[in-house]
């Protein structure tokens, strides 16, 4: 699984003008699922998100996790993270998991994070979403459970 993680002051997800998710300070994770991903990858990503120490401590240093700081986690599916644009000008999405399989794993990331005690909000899988956020820092981290980077 692949994720673009942004530390945010706040974020919201809208579908056709309707707000489907809102959150305050925490992390917003745009999550893509690869064909070879399974439940272990979802569990690993959820644990990494819950324990990633990029929230500020009392001295302003990136030293706290969501669990320590009490922040929220936004999980938004984004299959385009698996786009391969190394050849030509049009990305290929052949590495992205089919929708039904990807939905199960994106939901598993959210469920596992909740089980760890993180407050989680989600987008709407498969929908065309407008994601508004205020990136704090800015801080943006790339994660890949297959460790391709």
- Which residues are marked as active site? 78-80
Of residues 75, 69, 88, the one with CA closest to residue 25: 69
Residues 6+ apart with CB under 8 A from 144: 1, 2, 3
Considering Cα of 33, then 14, then 126, then 91, what sign does the dihedral take? negative
> Of 116, 115, 97, 95, nearest to 105 (Cα)?
97
Strand partners, 136: none
């Amino acid at each position: 699984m692949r994720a673009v993680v942004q530390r945010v002051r706040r974020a919201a997800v809208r579908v056709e003008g309707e707000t489907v998710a809102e959150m305050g300070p925490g992390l917003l994770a745009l999550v893509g699922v690869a064909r070879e991903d399974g439940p272990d990858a979802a569990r690993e990503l959820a644990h990494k998100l819950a324990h990633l120490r990029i929230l500020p401590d009392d001295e302003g240093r990136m030293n706290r996790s969501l669990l320590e700081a009490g922040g929220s986690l936004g999980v938004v599916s984004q299959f385009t993270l698996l786009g391969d644009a190394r050849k030509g000008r049009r990305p290929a999405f052949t590495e992205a998991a089919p929708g039904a399989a990807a939905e199960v794993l994106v939901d598993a990331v959210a469920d596992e994070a909740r089980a760890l005690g993180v407050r989680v909000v989600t987008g709407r899988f498969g929908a065309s979403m407008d994601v508004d956020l205020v990136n704090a820092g800015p801080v943006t981290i790339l994660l890949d459970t297959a460790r391709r980077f």
